[in-house]
Chains A and B, each alone.
Chain A
Amino acid sequence: MNRAQKVGNVGMTVLTVIAIVIVQGILSYRFRVFQIIDLPLIYCVYYGFRMSKPVTSVFLGGGLGLLQDSLSGYALGTNGFSKALLCFAAASTSLKFNVDQPITRIFALFLFTLADGLLVSILGLAMGTGGAAVSGGRLMDLVLSGVFNTLLGLMMFGFRDRYRHAT
């Protein structure tokens, strides 16, 4: 891969990251169901599994999280911390496990959603900006979010597999 291609790829990834955060914000505003779906998290897992590069995944996750924080009421760095960690975990998982198996993807998407919710809640509570996401109804929301994220993530992986087999 020459230099121009590399710069092009980086630019494309940055634009994708910005687009995902904006689309998440606008869809959440228009459609209630998107308030429980976390597109940036799905993209983190997707990118980590697809690229299997822990270093770039960490920076992608961190950037994605910071952009999310800037448009939300969270302290800057809350989602940055969580997404960087989870993106790294996704990339590391793809190096050790076969992430082409649907069962691995289901487990990963669901558990990463729970882990993200808990991490963000703990950091939010520590900073005094987060809700009480670790108890009661909020925990149910988190589980529901895990289910929706898993379904949407599986669809994304499905498209990717189809595209890969076609080419």
Chain B
Amino acid sequence: MVSIAKRPGWIALVSVLVFNLLLLSLQTNQHGSTGFMRKWLLNIMVPAEKLVDGGVRAIWSVWDGYFALIGVHSENQSLQAENDQLRMQIQRQDEAIREAERLRSFLGLAGAGIGKTVAARVIGRDPTRSLQTVTIDRGQSDGVKANDSVITPDGVVGRVFSVATGSAVVQLITDAQSEIAAMFRESRVQALFKGTGGRDLELNYIDDDYGIEVGAEVITSGLDQIHPKGLPLATISIVGAKGEHFKMMSARPRVDLSRLEDVLVVIEPVQPVVEPPPGPSQPGPPTNPASPAVHSFRRNDG
């Protein structure tokens, strides 16, 4: 029989595997917080990643600034025409915004802002194959916390998964473990969208009666207490049958997550206003028949 002392390879293997299993078991109760070891590793890795990313960006900017300018003149002209049209559209919408603000102040609701944000730059992507995360160059020292919402002007990007001193890892909305409380902009039907691990989001088991079709806009509902309410999330791209009375849907995120450059982290979201229940002496505001939160969503992962 061969002595175990003569098998240093096996001893090393068992030691390293046990160490990793211990690490894993220590994290089972750490949901929502970043362990000291991850923080320590992030603090080592991210400065080096920033350095390499800076070099890559410099090369990229030389390419963008000199070699990729062919055809810019015609593109510039079409953009100017588009800009003129958009300015006219903005002028038309200005009045509607003012009216909405008047009504909002009349109802005593909070401002339409999403809260305090911090701009961050994406410096890397998940170095493993199957998860969808990105690394950003803002962290605890900038006020970023785990579960902060990450957005762009186009819509929702994801949530902060783990955070170190000067960096954070963001879980994208398309990650297979991601779930996001949402609602349809027009019908106000609430739903829980799940990441697929690919490019889309999915919604299983929504009632047939809601009549939602391809092209419907999906926005955040704020019920997950991570993302502020009303942010653009996705557009329905596929609607299919699922069982006798249900439908499944696929939605394409509004943000092109494969081309993320700069994002905003919502570090202090505006707290939703809790409306007091209407009493007999103080009647509540008039009920809007299309009011949200009257629909429930159905979801079954099985």
Q: Which residues of A contact B (CB under 8 A)?
A: 18, 21-26, 28-30, 32, 35-38, 40, 54-55, 58-59, 61-62, 65-81, 84-85, 88, 91-92, 117, 120-121, 123-124, 127-133, 137-138, 141, 145
Contact of A84 among B20, B122, B131 (CB under 8 A): B20
Among A26, A30, A62, A132, point to the contact of B176 (Cβ < 8 A).
Answer: A132
Residues of chain A with a CB closer than 8 A to B126's CB: 25, 28, 35, 71-73
A32 touches B258 (CB 8 A): yes
Q: Is the CB of A67 within 8 A of B41?
A: yes
Q: How far is the CB of A17 from chain B (nearest CB, A)?
A: 11
A35–B129 touching, CB < 8 Å: yes
Cβ of A128: which chain B residues have Cβ within 8 Å of it? 177
A131 & B24 in contact (Cβ 8 Å cutoff): no
**A residues near B134, Cβ cutoff 8 Å:** 29
At the interface, is chain A mostly helix, strand, loop or mixed? helix
Count of A-B contacts judged by CB separation below 8 Å: 177
The answer to whether B124 touches A29 (Cβ under 8 A) is yes
Whole-angstrom CA separation of A66 from B24 in the bound complex: 11
Name the CB-closest residue of B to A75. B27
Chain A: minimal CB distance from B288 (Å): 39
In the bound complex, what is the Cα–Cα distance between A66 and B21 (angstroms)?
12
Given contacts A68-B127, A68-B128, 19 further A-B contacts (CB under 8 A): A22-B45, A24-B127, A25-B127, A26-B49, A26-B124, A29-B124, A29-B134, A32-B258, A35-B126, A35-B129, A58-B16, A71-B127, A72-B128, A72-B131, A77-B20, A81-B21, A128-B177, A129-B177, A130-B177
Per the bound structure, the CA–CA distance linking A70 and B43 in Å amounts to 10
Inter-subunit contact A73/B131 (CB<8 Å):
yes
Q: A-contacting residues of B (Cβ < 8 Å)?
A: 8-10, 12-13, 16-17, 19-24, 27-28, 35, 37-38, 41-42, 44-46, 48-49, 52-53, 56, 122-135, 161-162, 169, 171, 175-177, 197-198, 258
What are 13 residue pairs bridging A and B, where the CB atoms are less than 8 Å apart in the complex? A22-B45, A25-B49, A26-B52, A28-B125, A54-B12, A58-B16, A66-B41, A70-B38, A73-B133, A73-B177, A76-B37, A117-B130, A130-B130
Q: Is the CB of B130 within 8 A of A59?
A: no
Contacts of B177 in A (CB 8 A): 73, 128-131
A39 nearest CB neighbor, chain B only: B127
Q: Which residues of A contact B17 (CB under 8 A)?
A: 81, 84-85
Most buried by B among A29, A65, A74, A124: A29
Q: A127 vs B134: C-alpha distance in the bound complex, in angstroms?
A: 20
Q: Is B169 a contact partner of A73 (Cβ separation < 8 A)? A: yes
Name the distance in Å between B227's Cβ and chain A's nearest Cβ.
Answer: 17
Across-interface contacts of B48 in A (CB, < 8 A): 18, 22
Residue from A32, A37, A129 with most neighbouring chain B CB atoms (10 Å): A129
A73 interface neighbour in B41, B46, B171, Cβ under 8 Å: B171
Our pick among A32, A81, A131 for the contact of B197 (Cβ within 8 Å) is: A131
A80 adjacent to B122 (CB under 8 Å) = no
Instruction: Give Cα A128–Cα B124 distance, bound, in whole angstroms.
Output: 23
Closest CB-CB distance, A75 to chain B, in whole Å? 5
Check A22–B169 contact: CB distance below 8 A. Answer: no
Q: Check A25/B16 contact, CB under 8 A, given A70-B45, A73-B175, A76-B35.
A: no
Residues of B contacting A18 in the complex (Cβ-Cβ under 8 angstroms): 44-45, 48
Shortest Cβ distance from residue B290 to the other chain A in the assembled complex, whole angstroms: 37
Pick the contact of A71: B22, B42, B129 (CB < 8 A). Answer: B42
Contact A137 B198 (CB under 8 A): yes
Determine the chain B residues whose CB is within 8 A of the CB of A145 once the complex forms: 129
